[in-house]
């Protein structure tokens, strides 16, 4: 089933769920690991600032970028298998959710080097996530970032001479990113492992949604996505 724009409604909903999880995880990583595990633009900028101010987050930045790239390489391999787009994306999200879930257990166990292990696992998982969302090819949603979503709202609005395509989809993604960051911030202030586990559950739900067989109830998803 597709929307009038050609987007699979379940892919759109899954990506919105993943965007919420990314809001959680980037808030957690910034607050408690002092670097972004998934938002690489901000990671590069933070590294530059820390180099200029002689602070020690640079090594964490290199670790995050390296493991993110490794995750992206792995994700690129996974999505290029002989699978439908829906199932290929679902497979990657299930793998990613499992890794994030294991990260929650790892943080709870607090092994030596826990912070670096957590950062590496989350960065790898987010590299996988980007491969999945890029493969889905939903407009403005290849990355869980607000910049393109906000730009799309303005650029395609009637005030700019457009026809407002995808407005509700973009608003839903921006809202989910914001809500996810709030949830990640508040929950991690009490339990970091619980906050990571909630993000993992959200990602696993998104992946499972893409593997569920067609059902009349799922037809209602077409009303949620917009052209």
Angle at 94 between CA 211 and CA 6, to 5 degrees: 50
Cβ 94 vs Cβ 204: under 8 Å: yes
Establish if 3 belongs to a structural domain.
Answer: no
- Please write the tens of the pLDDT for every residue from 18-34: 999 999 999 999 899 88
Establish if 17 belongs to a structural domain.
Answer: yes
Establish if 1 belongs to a structural domain.
Answer: no
Q: How far apart are CA 17 and CA 216, in angstroms?
A: 21
- Please write the tens of the pLDDT for every residue from 21-71: 999 999 999 899 888 888 888 888 888 887 777 666 678 888 999 999 999
CB atoms within 10 A of CB 182: 13
Would you state the pLDDT for residue 170?
A: 82
Establish if 4 belongs to a structural domain.
Answer: no
Establish if 2 belongs to a structural domain.
Answer: no
Establish if 84 belongs to a structural domain.
Answer: yes
Would you state the pLDDT for residue 218?
A: 59
- pTM, rounded to two decimals: 0.86
Q: How far apart are CA 218 and CA 227, in angstroms?
A: 18
Q: Show the domain range for 214.
A: 9-223
- Please write the tens of the pLDDT for every residue from 125-177: 999 999 999 898 887 777 767 777 777 778 777 788 777 777 778 888 889 99
Q: How many domains does the chain have?
A: 1
Q: Token pair for residue 27?
A: 């808030």
Establish if 42 belongs to a structural domain.
Answer: yes
In this model, does residue 212 exceed pLDDT 60?
yes
Q: How far apart are CA 26 and CA 40, in angstroms?
A: 10
Establish if 101 belongs to a structural domain.
Answer: yes
Q: In CATH, what number is assigned to the domain containing residue 124? A: 1.20.1250
Q: Token pair for residue 73?
A: 């390489």
């Amino acid at each position: 089933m597709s929307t009038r724009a050609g987007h699979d409604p379940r892919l759109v909903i899954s990506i919105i769920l993943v965007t919420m999880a990314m809001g959680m995880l980037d808030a957690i990583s910034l607050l408690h690991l002092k670097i972004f595990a998934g938002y690489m633009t901000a990671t590069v900028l933070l590294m530059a600032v820390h180099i200029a101010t002689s602070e020690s987050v640079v090594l964490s930045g290199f670790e995050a970028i390296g493991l993110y790239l490794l995750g992206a390489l792995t994700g690129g391999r996974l999505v290029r298998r002989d699978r439908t787009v829906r199932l290929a994306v679902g497979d990657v999200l299930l793998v990613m959710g499992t890794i994030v879930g294991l990260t929650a257990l790892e943080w709870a166990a607090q092994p030596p080097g826990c912070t670096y292990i957590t950062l590496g696992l989350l960065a790898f998982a987010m590299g996988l996530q980007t491969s999945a969302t890029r493969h889905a090819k939903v407009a403005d949603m290849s990355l869980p970032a607000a910049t393109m979503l906000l730009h799309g709202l303005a650029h395609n609005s009637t005030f700019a001479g457009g026809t407002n395509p995808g407005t509700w989809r973009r608003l839903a993604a921006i809202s989910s990113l914001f809500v996810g960051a709030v949830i990640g911030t508040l929950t991690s202030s009490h339990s970091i492992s619980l906050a990571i586990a909630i993000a993992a559950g959200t990602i696993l739900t998104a992946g499972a949604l893409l593997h569920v067989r067609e059902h009349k109830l799922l037809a209602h998803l077409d009303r949620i996505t917009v052209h």
